[in-house]
Amino acid sequence: MSGNAAELYKLINSDPEKKRDLFRQALQNPKGAMQAICELGNAMNLPVTSEEVKEYLSTVDDLETKQWLLKARGGL
């Protein structure tokens, strides 16, 4: 399923509104944002676990993702 995390990341990254909403949620409720990512994956037939998402995000090398991780780190 880890391939699903990569595909889901691409989909979220290509949707500025969804990306912004998840970032805002992560600032206030990181676990809720992770749950929302997993639910979105299920809805898009790309099921992921929170561990798969965390593992994938740790491999992504872009500034915005790293900023999101720094802001949300406490709740993840």
Q: How confident is the model at residue 18 (pLDDT cuts 50, 70, 90)?
A: very high
Residues 33, 26: contact at Cβ < 8 Å? yes
CA 16, CA 4: separation in Å to the nearest integer? 20
CA 52, CA 76: separation in Å to the nearest integer? 12
pLDDT score of 72: 65
For the chain, count helices (H), then strands (E): 5, 0
Extents of the domains making up the chain:
2-75
pLDDT score of 3: 87
pTM for this prediction: 0.82
pLDDT score of 15: 95
Residues 46, 4: contact at Cβ < 8 Å? yes
By three-state DSSP, how is residue 8 classified?
helix
Residues of the chain above pLDDT 90, percent: 45
